[in-house]
Amino acid sequence: MPINYNIQAKIVDLRSDTPKKDEIFLVDTNVWYWFAYTKASMSSLPYQTRNYPSYLNKARLIGSLLLYCGLSLAELAHNIERSEREIFNLTSNRSLTAKEYRHNQPTERANVVDEVKIAWNIVTSIAVSTDITIDETTTGASLTRLQTQPLDGYDLLILEAMRRANIKQVITDDGDYVTVPSITVFTENQNVIQQANAQGKLKVR
C-alpha cells in the first residue's frame, strides 16, 4: 500500500539536482549505509547504492559540507549487524536470532565489528560531526515534535541536532522527514517525489 505523506518540507529530486559550493547537508544514516557499507547492494535497491553515493561524491567535489550525527553510529551498527546476520543465515541455511548470532558466532561477530569500523571510518573521514547532548531538554523537545510529526526515535533526536545547529538540508531516502516544516529534503524516494509534485512541494533549483 502506498504511504500517504502530509508533506511539510521542501523536496528536491537529487537525480536532477547539482549540489553547490559551501552548501551544508546533514546526511541521514540510511545514506551513510549505502555509501560506506561494503555489502549494501545485497540488501538495497539499485538506485539507493548508485545515486545517493553519487550525489555525496558530487557534493564533496564541489565543496559542500557534509555532516553526520553521532547517533548514526548506533543505527548504522544495527543495520550492518542485521545485514551480516541475514547473509550468514542465508548462506548457512540457518535462522539465528540477533542475540544467537551476536553471542554464539565469534568469527561472525569479529567480522561485524570490522565492517562497522570500516564504514564509520569512511563517514568520519569525509564528514563533520554535528552532535547533540541527550538530556531532559532534548528529550522534551523530541517528545513535543513526536506529537505532530510521525517520526521514529532516531529521527527525532537527529532533527533536534539539526535544529540546534540551524541545519536546514538533509539527504535521505526516509519519507518521514518530509513531515517536518522548515527543512529541505534531498531524496530519490519516488513516492515522496510524486506526492511532493502533486502537493506543490517539489523544488527545482
Report d(CA 184, CA 177) in Å as an integer.
9
Read off the C-alpha cell for 155. Answer: 529521527
How much is the pLDDT for 1?
A: 74
- The answer to whether 80 touches 64, Cβ cutoff 8 Å, is no
- List, as one string, the DSSP characters of 81-143: HHHHHHHHHHHHT----HHHHHHH-HHHHHHHHHHHHHHHHHHHHH-EE-----SHHHHHHHH
Give residue for cell 527525532: 156
CA angle 164–170–61, rounded 5-degree value: 115
Best CA proximity match to 173, nearest among 91, 70, 53: 53
How much is the pLDDT for 171?
A: 99
| Residues 6+ positions from 20 with CB-CB distance below 8 Å | 62, 64
DSSP β-ladder status, 169-171 and 184-187:
parallel
pTM listed for this prediction: 0.94
CATH node for 10-203: 3.40.50.1010
Q: Dihedral of the CA atoms 122, 125, 127, 131 (nearest 10)?
A: 90
pLDDT by 10s per residue, the chain, length 205: 778 999 999 999 999 999 999 999 999 999 999 999 999 998 899 999 999 999 999 999 999 999 999 999 999 999 999 999 999 999 999 999 999 999 999 999 999 999 999 999 999 999 999 988 888 988 888 888 988 888 888 899 899 999 999 999 999 999 999 999 999 999 999 999 999 999 999 999 8
* Cα-only R_g, the chain: 18
